[in-house]
Amino acid sequence: MSSNNKSTRLFSPHHHHAASTQCTRTHQIGALVLVAATFFLTRLFDHSLSPCTSALRSSFSVSDHSNFPQFGDRAQLDLKIYVYDENEIEGLKLLMYGRDGKISADACVKGQWGSQVKIHRLLLQSRFRTKRKEEADLFFVPSYVKCVRMMGGLNDKEINQTYVKVLSQMPYFRLSGGRNHIFVFPSGAGAHLFKSWSTYLNRSIILTPEGDRTDKRDISAFNTWKDIIIPGNVDDGMTAANARLIDPLPLSNRKYLANYLGRAQGKVGRMRLIELARQNPDKLESPDLKFSGPDKLGRTEYFQHLRNAKFCLAPRGESSWTLRFYESFFVECVPVILSDQIELPFQNVVDYTQISIKWPLTRIGPQLLEYLESIPDKVIENLIANGRRVRCLWVYAPDSESCSAFIAILWELQKKVRRFHQSTETFWLHNGSIINRDLLEFKKW
């Protein structure tokens, strides 16, 4: 008999009928009971999660005693991070305080790139910090280099030379090829601040608010496999739990439908918004803001402008990310993202469709205002309420807090530890130990 005939016989209706008669009525009833029980338990489990806001995906739970989202059971967060001391490695101080040592961390922490200082400080205080290199899962390299460069403390050539010098003095960096080392690059330039990043940091973990997919270089410095998007640094006066710089206004008291607070900087999307505001001054506010000189806009005045609209428009600038997206949550206006390539933090956890709007950059015009005007206040209030529950993830607070940017970053780092242990450079044994080609355990490399 040919193989084709055998196949026909195996799957013939007659054969199927003969097999089906072997199933007794008891088996069928048992199967139905199992299906019913599974359905009931699934519905019961889903119902038990119903207090969670729809802005948070199923992996993101809200504890019974708090409105703050959590990534999971805090007892499962198990990391040991070594933080290099500024005096430990020659040259590290240059990346933190400049060639003359005159740039202070307190000055750097106040700017929109202050996350580089805050993450360092939080790790120094963290219960996940270890002072023993041999037991560390990860190594953190402190650097305030974006601030240092902006304040004239180092130029691009000096930054590059200093990074190379610092990395050459790190034996644990060499042993892992940099895979277990963490660097913060808090601006749109990302790791490009270090010109030779592709040679030295192509395996390291980079924390940045910028997905860096639309830069003008030949290669992106962001890799979704190893790097982590972090929130920008919102002014502490707005993120404080009490005595906030300003409070949100009721929707009915807001003067404008939408606003855009920023400069054109020669960017097409921004220029379209400014022109749109000229054509619709009663709906869209886009004042001529002064960021320097005697008429410089103060931080209180800035947030007073921002809170006076139902929607805060957040177009891309030199790069895709924008701090205005995060700021809008603290004045409780709905952010409208006008940046097609933007990467947002913790996207595996936060459902951004429930807390914001993303509109095509090429569609900026009267159609955008018509669309925003068509959204009922009830829907706007719901988006704001969802955002209110998630915004704790934009706050750089200690890991003792139930919800913060820092605790979320730690969860992301823990996932990276598991991933970088499995690579072309690593092997594992039956007991789960990670070894290299010389059969040395990872921590002994």
According to the model, what pLDDT value does residue 59 have?
34
Same domain, 21 and 91: no
Same domain, 372 and 247: yes
For residue 116, give the nearest of 94, 96, 138, 135 by alpha carbon: 96
CATH of the domain at 311: 3.40.50.2000
Q: Could you say which residues of the chain have pLDDT below 70?
A: 1-75, 212-218, 291, 418-425, 442-443, 445
Same domain, 301 and 226: no
CB atoms within 10 A of CB 220: 17
According to the model, what pLDDT value does residue 392 have?
94
CA angle 138, 139, 141 (to 5 degrees): 145
Largest CA distance in the chain: 96
According to the model, what pLDDT value does residue 33 have?
46
Q: Quote the mean pLDDT of the chain.
A: 83
Which residues are CB-contacts of 380 (< 8 A; sequence separation ≥ 6)? 251, 310, 311, 334
Strands 256-259 and 228-229: unpaired
Same domain, 319 and 277: yes
Same domain, 342 and 211: no
How far apart (Å, rounded) are the C-alpha atoms in residues 41 and 32?
A: 14
Q: Which residues of 197-214 are buried (b: 16+ CB within 10 A; e: fewer)?
A: beebbbbbbbbbbbbbeb
Same domain, 434 and 373: no
Classify residue 160: in a domain, yes or no: yes
User: Considering its fold, how many domains does the chain have in total?
Assistant: 3
How far apart (Å, rounded) are the C-alpha atoms in residues 178 and 364?
A: 43
Classify residue 53: in a domain, yes or no: no
| CB 194, CB 201: distance < 8 Å | yes
Provide the sign of the torsion angle of the four alpha carbons 96, 115, 107, 323, taken in this order. positive
pTM of the prediction? 0.80
Which amino acid type is present at position 356?
A: S
How far apart (Å, rounded) are the C-alpha atoms in residues 263 and 431?
A: 58
Classify residue 119: in a domain, yes or no: yes
Same domain, 212 and 292: no
- Residue 434 β-bridge partners: 428
Same domain, 219 and 252: no
Classify residue 59: in a domain, yes or no: no
| CB 61, CB 45: distance < 8 Å | no
Classify residue 422: in a domain, yes or no: yes
According to the model, what pLDDT value does residue 282 have?
97
Same domain, 285 and 194: no
Tally of residues, the chain: 445
Only one residue has tokens 């969802």, namely 386
According to the model, what pLDDT value does residue 61 have?
34
Range of the domain at 11: 3-48
According to the model, what pLDDT value does residue 99 have?
96
Same domain, 106 and 139: yes
Provide the sign of the torsion angle of the four alpha carbons 87, 92, 98, 103, taken in this order. negative
Provide the sign of the torsion angle of the four alpha carbons 83, 86, 89, 94, taken in this order. positive
Q: For every residue of the chain, which 3-state class applies, written as one string? A: CCHHHHHHHHCCHHHHHHHHCCCCHHHHHHHHHHHHHHHHHHHHHHHHCCCCCCCECCCCEECCCCCCEECCCHHHCCCCEEECCCCCCCCHHHHHHCCCCCCCHHHHCCCCCCHHHHHHHHHHHCCCEECCHHHCCEEECCCCHHHHHHCCCCCHHHHHHHHHHHHHCCHHHHHHCCCCEEEECCCCCHHHHCCCHHHHCCCCEEEECCCCCCCCCCCCCCCCCCCEECCCCCCHHHHCCCCCCCCCCCHHHCCEEEECCCCCCCCHHHHHHHHHHHHCCCCEECCCCCCCCCCCCCHHHHHHHHCCEEEEEEECCCCCCCHHHHHHHHHCCEEEEECCCCCCCCCCCECHHHCCEECCHHHCCHHHHHHHHCCCHHHHHHHHHHHHHHHHHHCCCCCCCCCCHHHHHHHHHHHHHHHHCCCCCCEECCCCCEECCCCCEHHHC
For residue 390, give the nearest of 69, 51, 154, 100 by alpha carbon: 69
Classify residue 254: in a domain, yes or no: yes
Classify residue 401: in a domain, yes or no: no
Only one residue has tokens 């059969």, namely 439
Tokens representing 88? 């430990």
Provide the sign of the torsion angle of the four alpha carbons 47, 48, 50, 56, taken in this order. negative
Same domain, 325 and 429: no
Which amino acid type is present at position 187?
A: S
pLDDT, one tens digit per residue, over 45-79 is 333 333 333 455 433 333 333 444 556 666 688 99
Same domain, 93 and 163: yes
Classify residue 362: in a domain, yes or no: yes
Taking phi over 0 as left and psi of -120 to 50 as alpha, with beta for the rest, 439 belongs to left
